[in-house]
Structure 1
Amino acid sequence: MSNSNKEIHPKSPYSDPSPYPEVQVLSRNPDYAEILMDDYAGIISEFTAINQYLYHHFICTPINKELGDLLKNIAKSEMLHLEILGSTIISLGGNPVIRGSGSLLHNNFWSGKSIYYGTNLCGQLKADIEAEYQAIAEYQRHILCIGDSQVKTILQRIILDEKVHIRLLSQALEKFCGCNVRGL
């Protein structure tokens, strides 16, 4: 991954301030690449998150530009995660097509059905927060399945951003809806 891509990534407050590790793997491992396909473009994935945040950005911007900008910038952060995962999948010997793991066998490629489309601002924020929690849980499960310390470091760094997203979205939920969800 080139440094120029890192430079366009929105910095604080949309991501953790710690640096991203270089995309490196200990050795090619197509099984690990296949595990990462779920994080890349499965139901709970960076690809789903990008599309959901952009949709919510389009709906929320006319209501409140600040909230729309927040959602757009979180989507940009998720785009960097997608790029990092795609590069990692290639380094492991995989092919980062837009699908989850095992989907080629079942002809189950990514679908827009994975996105929460509700047009209620509070419902969207709650869905976004829940999706971040689910993503963290998936990353943690995959860290346990993968024996490559380089890949684990990459996933652990992405988790830091997802936690920042939960904090920012929780603040927005409190501000715009007067309620909150489970904390970190």
Structure 2
Amino acid sequence: MNSCEEYLVDLPYPSVLVREINVCYATLISGAFGGPGSESTAIAQYIAHNFYTHDYPEINFAYRCIASVELTHLNLLGNLIRDLGMPPKFLTYETNCYWTGKNPAYAYKIRPILLSDIKGEHDAIAHYTRLIHQIDSPDIQRLFKRIILDEQKHIEILTKFLASMGSECH
């Protein structure tokens, strides 16, 4: 198991052609980039949790891979925010609140780790679904739908890990 390919959906990310600056859209997307439930938070949370998965080599590897997929999402969003006319910053433009290390859900035992990360993926899907309804751009909507596929795959993987733990889950 050397490749992270199984931790993302085997479909390309759709390109987004930004036809004009749209600060409103960039502002909305900033929450997914640098807000409390953002890709930035997901990356930090997976990395923090990975320190406590060494007794579970398959989960440890998966967490590094999933963090890498989340970084891909972060890069896609950052480029989109820039193309829409705003600098990608680790903040939510809607509230002008910067990202903080208080955003990740910190857990130290395998069961709470898996549960908090499954919740984070569900929250991300809900956020992207809201953005799809708020942003009237088929290109951007397609990108968010593609990202959602990865998040759903992560839920599937994490749920399998949780189920495989059985009674040994602490």
Same fold by TM-score greater than 0.5: yes
Q: Does the CA contact (< 8 Å) of 2:125 and 2:148 recur in 1?
A: yes
* Distance in 2, Cα, partners of 1:65 & 1:148: 41
Q: Is 1:145 aligned to 2:138, yes or no?
A: no
Distance 1:144 1:178, change over 3 A: farther
For 1:35 and 1:177, locate their aligned partners in 2 and report how far apart those are by CA, in whole Å. 40
**Is 1:29 matched up with 2:18?**
no
2:121, 2:152 within 8 Å by CA — same for their partners in 1? Answer: yes
Distance 1:148 1:121, change over 3 A: same
- Gaps (5+ residues) in structure 1? 1-8, 180-184
Displacement after TM superposition at 1:25 (Å): 2.1
Matched, 1:129 2:118: yes
Q: Which amino acid aligns with 2:49?
A: H
1:171 aligns with 2:164: no
Moved over 6 A (4+): none
The question of 1:15 aligning with 2:8 is answered: yes
- Residue 92 of structure 2 aligns with an amino acid whose one-letter code is G
Q: Secondary structure at 2:150's aligned position in 1?
A: helix
- In the TM superposition, residue 94 of structure 1 has moved relative to its aligned partner by 1.2
The CA distance in 2 between the partners of 1:119 and 1:144, in whole Å, is 36
Give the TM-score of the pair, scaled to structure 2: 0.93
Percent identity at matched positions?
34
Question: What secondary structure does 2:52 align onto?
Answer: helix
User: What RMSD over aligned residues (CA atoms) do the two structures have, in Å?
Assistant: 1.6
So what's the TM-score if we normalise by structure 1? 0.86
Q: For this pair of structures, how many residues does the alignment match?
A: 166
Unmatched 5+ stretches in structure 2: none
